[in-house]
Amino acid sequence: MKVKKRTPKIILTIIFIYLLLPIVATFLYSISTSWINTVLPEGLTFKWYAQLVFNPEFLNVVLRSLVLSIFTTILGLVIFVPVIFYMNIYNQKLKAKMRYITMLPFIIPGIILVTGLIQLYKDIPIPKIVILVMVLSVMSLPLVYQTLNNVFISKDFKSMFEQSQLLGYGPVKSFMFVIVPNIKTGLIVSTLLLFSAGLGDYVITNLFLGGNYITLKIYMYRLMAVNGNAGSVLTIIYFIMLSILSAILIRTTSKAKKG
């Protein structure tokens, strides 16, 4: 039995080290004073971190990314949650048809979608950033749909919703005060998925807005060419942000499974 367990452990350790190698190298690079001709960095320092964090441009970049992520999240939640609820409870036919639509963003990569977006909106005087927020929320629809769908089939939300209305709440109140508290996990997961979609997009944001709205990833791409140290610091900061989001995500879903 012991030998049987050793092989999987070795395999996973190798995969783990392989996957983390670039991050470890980037981290070491980000805290080294200079690393040109030696086995290990010549000295360790946090000055690249200080330099980047105190750069006003960096603050702007973070703010821009946050604005994009927050609006994407709000739009996605406000529209997707009630619609997926409605389809699950009252309109199964529509739900069957919607399945294909919700898969579309999975099949159509960003680089294709952006080709159409550029053409469609090149002469229409709507601020492109508004369209971008809409696009990013729809891009995370497949995962959000799946998450919420699983939540809505887990309990009898239909009678919950109807009983609440029999007891005197209106539909809006019933939804907000009876349904929403019961789908907290699904909402948290959806929020994280939408937020990550806003934070992690590069292709659509860069090509659709023509590089005029500099988010974290676009800034990172620009730093890559001019300043390796600052770029590695930014990569690490981005990695930490993703780690936090990912940890909350898994924590929430596993807690829900257990209890």
Partner 1 sequence: MKMSLKNRFLLLFVLLICLVLIFPIGVMIISSFNSQDGSWGLMNYQELFTNHYYRNAIGHSLTLSLSASLFSEVIAILGAWSLTKMSSSVKESLVTIFNLASSFAGVPLAFSLIILLGNSGVLHVISKSLDINILGSINVYSWLGIVIAYSFFEIPLGILFLYPTFEEIDQGWKEASDTLGVSNCFFLKKVIYPVLVPGLVETLIILFANAMGTYETVFALTGNNITFISTIIGSLIGGEITSNIPLAGALSVVFGLVMIALVIMGNLLVRTKRITEGK
Per CB under 8 A, contacts with partner 1 among 229-258 are 231-232, 235, 238-239, 242-243, 246-247, 249-250, 254
- CA angle, 72 as apex, 68 and 78 as ends, to 5°? 150
Per CB under 8 A, contacts with partner 1 among 109-128 are 109-121
Contact 253, 187 (CB under 8 A): no
Three-state DSSP state, 234: helix
Cα dist from 67 to 108, 112, 204, whole Å:
25, 25, 16
Sign for the CA dihedral angle at 96, 101, 106, 108 comes to positive
Per CB under 8 A, contacts with partner 1 among 47-86 are 79-80, 82-83, 86
CB of 138 to partner 1, least distance (A): 5
| Nearest one of 197, 227, 219, 207 to 64, comparing CA atoms | 219
- CA angle, 239 as apex, 215 and 234 as ends, to 5°? 50
Site mask for partner 1 (CB under 8 A), range 28-47, x = bound: xx-----xxxxx--------
Instruction: Please identify, using beta-carbon distances, which residue of 38 and 181 lies nearer to partner 1.
Output: 38
| Cα 206 to Cα 215: distance, rounded to the nearest angstrom | 9
Which range, of 46-54, 62-70, 177-185, 224-232, touches partner 1 by CB under 8 A?
224-232
Contact 119, 113 (CB under 8 A): no
Q: Which of 3, 166, 172, 226 binds partner 1 (CB under 8 A)?
A: 172
Which range, of 48-56, 59-67, 180-188, 227-235, touches partner 1 by CB under 8 A?
227-235
Q: Which of 22, 43, 46, 153 binds partner 1 (CB under 8 A)?
A: 22
Q: Which of 134, 160, 209, 256 binds partner 1 (CB under 8 A)?
A: 134
Site mask for partner 1 (CB under 8 A), range 177-216, x = bound: -------------------x---x-xx---x--x------
